[in-house]
Structure 1
Amino acid sequence: MEGVFRKSANIGSIKRLQDRINKGEKIDFENDPEYKDNVHVASLHASVLLKTFFRSLGEPLTTNKLYPKLAALSEISKAEKSAAVKEFVKLLPRDNYILLKTVIKFLTKVAENSKVNLMTANNLSVVFGPNLTWPTDQEVPISQLNNLNNFCYKLIVDYDSVFDH
């Protein structure tokens, strides 16, 4: 879907999906009556639901505790950035690491289809950088946003070298 993750959905629809998920229901984006024969709406709702999930966590996947180390990545030279990102990712709690690895793998697949969806690694990093990294326990200067987006960009484009398989 062109612009997936950049579009918004009806808030009521997303709240209903969240309620269903919170009740333990499975959402079938291919066969539920609301989505049957409407891949556009299914894609839109799934993408908004994913972003909403990350925003609703008590803290970012990269954790509040590790935020100073993440912020320090802005001082690392371009040549050493990938290695520094890999070292940072190793510091994450195991569950956070697994979820981050999974979502970034998915984002690499989205980026591979950027000719159709127009969501390049850069576009995806602008959308997901703040959702995955923005600390919830401190004020962050808006100037730090570029660093957080760049971190997410490196995760996507250097996926194979950053994450252990």
Structure 2
Amino acid sequence: MYLDIIKAISKGTNEELGWELLVMCLESVQPSKDIEEFLMKYFEDNCLLPTSSTRVKQYSTYCHKRLAFLLERPLVPHLPLAPSLQTAKEAPFQKSVFRSSLQDIMILQKDLRPDLKIPLILKTLAELVLLSNGCECEGIFRIAAQKSDLAILRKELEESAGINSRNITDPHLPACLLKEWLSEIRYPLFPSEFYDELCEHPDQWEAIESILARFPNTNRLVVYYIVNLLQKVVEKSDINLMPATNLAVVFSPSMFRYTGVFATPGLALSQCKIETQCITTIILNLPTDK
């Protein structure tokens, strides 16, 4: 599919439509490994070609970043939804509160909320979870929301830069979108340079606390904000059946996003358990006023 589209582009057959199709493909179809390197070079070359139009450069820059992300976090096979494809078509030409770095998100909201020290989209989704009684909802953050509803809410929040304008009654909807946002920020919430150090002390709060203190400021504040939200969920775990360990299982992959390769499945499972223990320790020990 990718190669067919590129062939059509090279023949001069509606170049912009071809790039639009590439963007939408990267939304729903993981490229096969044998063409990954070719695609990366193709996108990179078109970013730099002096003959490329401004729009083609925007398309190619977006595709290059999107593919780099997919190489770290491969797509789960799924049927594309109309709102998701529409959002993808617009993504190369507008900055978004999704799939951006924390730093870029903070710059994007600077005029809208200069007082806010965390991403507005995160605050909005967390408040929606609480306002819809998510803490008393069984399986909160574990049970999936309807994909079509999720895509619609995501598009609305992208267009509003994170401001919600409607009543949400299903807490699974903002809970799932919060997880999606976290898993898609450009760089892991836990910076990779701290990974080994954190995993050396997964059950030692004092050691973890000192490591968190060295995080970039926005990363640290986002960790505190998310964990404080999870602590509210834990307080009602007798109702929602989501104690700290369950929440850690759900959130540790998105917070760490380790990209290394393990020699055996057993080693991978062992490392996942260490990550989960680390998040559990943070949930159980972080002061609630952070």
TM range (shorter): 0.7 to 0.9
CA contact (8 A) 2:142 2:250 kept: yes
Q: Please list, as runs of the form range in 1=range in 2, the aligned pairs for 1:11-90 lying within 5 A after superposition.
A: 11-24=147-160, 26-28=163-165, 31-32=166-167, 35=168, 39=169, 41=170, 43-74=171-202, 78=203, 81-90=204-213
Q: Please list, as runs of the form range in 1=range in 2, the aligned pairs for 1:127-138 lying within 5 A after superposition.
A: 127-135=250-258, 137-138=259-260
Matched letter for residue 260 of structure 2: Q
The Cα shift of 1:93 comes to 0.5
**Structure 2 CA distance for aligned equivalents of residues 67 and 14 of structure 1:** 31
Q: Which residue is equivalent to 2:236?
A: 113
**Structure 1 CA distance for aligned equivalents of residues 236 and 152 of structure 2:** 29
Structure 2 residue matching 1:7: 3-state secondary structure: coil
Structure 2 residue matching 1:119: 3-state secondary structure: coil
Q: Give ranges in structure 2 of 5+ residues lacking alignment.
A: 1-136, 263-267
Q: Which residue is equivalent to 1:104?
A: 227
The Cα shift of 1:110 comes to 0.5
Could you say what the CA RMSD is over the residues aligned between the two structures, in angstroms?
1.9
The Cα shift of 1:164 comes to 8.0
**Structure 2 CA distance for aligned equivalents of residues 85 and 101 of structure 1:** 13
Q: Which residue is equivalent to 1:8?
A: 144
Q: Which residue is equivalent to 2:7?
A: none
**Structure 2 CA distance for aligned equivalents of residues 18 and 134 of structure 1:** 22
The Cα shift of 1:13 comes to 1.6
% same residue: 24
Number of residue-to-residue matches in the alignment: 148
Q: Which moved more, 1:93-102 or 1:11-20?
A: 11-20
**Structure 2 CA distance for aligned equivalents of residues 63 and 45 of structure 1:** 27
Task: Render the CA deviation track for 1:40-99: whole Å, top value 9, x for unaligned.
Answer: x2x01011011111111122211122222223225xxx5xx1111111111210000001
Q: Which residue is equivalent to 2:246?
A: 123
CA contact (8 A) 2:233 2:242 kept: yes
Matched letter for residue 17 of structure 1: L
Q: Give ranges in structure 1 of 5+ residues lacking alignment.
A: none
Structure 2 residue matching 1:66: 3-state secondary structure: helix
Q: Relative contact order: is structure 1 or structure 2 higher (C-alpha 8 Å, sep ≥ 6)?
A: 1
